[in-house]
């Protein structure tokens, strides 16, 4: 399975980054990514879990409490995500121009 397949999804990289920063509960993640629906975030979190990048812990309390954390494999992606962010910052103006051109009719 290729890296692109594991990270394919609009919100997966953001989810990994926010979990790394300490935002672990689903409600916290939804607040950090307001453009995403609950369903899509849950689906992508399940995929990240199935790819062993995050673990999900369900606490036996009422109401149930859920937290996500990065696995060792997930932590190993953080430098890569950081490098992608730095690259995007360095080329932000050019990327905006290219994106705008691609949206033209």
69 φψ region: left (φ > 0), alpha (ψ -120 to 50), beta (else)? beta
CB 68 within 8 A of CB 19: yes
Which is nearest to 17 in space by CA: 79, 59, 105?
79
Segment 37-86, tens digit of pLDDT: 999 999 999 999 999 999 999 999 998 899 999 999 999 999 999 998 89
Residue extents of the structural domains in the chain: 3-76
> Residues 88, 67, 56, CA angle at the centre, nearest 5°?
90
Provide the pLDDT for residue 32: 93
Class of domain 3-76: mainly alpha
* Token digits of residue 67: 């937290």
Grouping H, G, I as helix, E, B as strand and the rest as coil, residue 56 is: strand
């Amino acid at each position: 399975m290729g890296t692109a397949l594991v990270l394919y999804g609009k919100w997966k990289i953001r989810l990994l980054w926010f979990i790394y920063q300490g935002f672990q509960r689903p409600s916290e993640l939804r607040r950090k990514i307001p453009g995403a629906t609950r369903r899509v975030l849950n689906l992508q979190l399940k995929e990240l879990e199935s790819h062993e990048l995050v673990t999900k812990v369900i606490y036996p309390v009422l109401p149930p409490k859920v937290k996500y954390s990065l696995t060792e494999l997930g932590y190993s992606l953080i430098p890569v995500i950081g490098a992608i962010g730095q690259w995007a910052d360095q080329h932000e103006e050019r990327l905006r121009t290219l994106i705008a051109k691609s949206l033209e009719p």
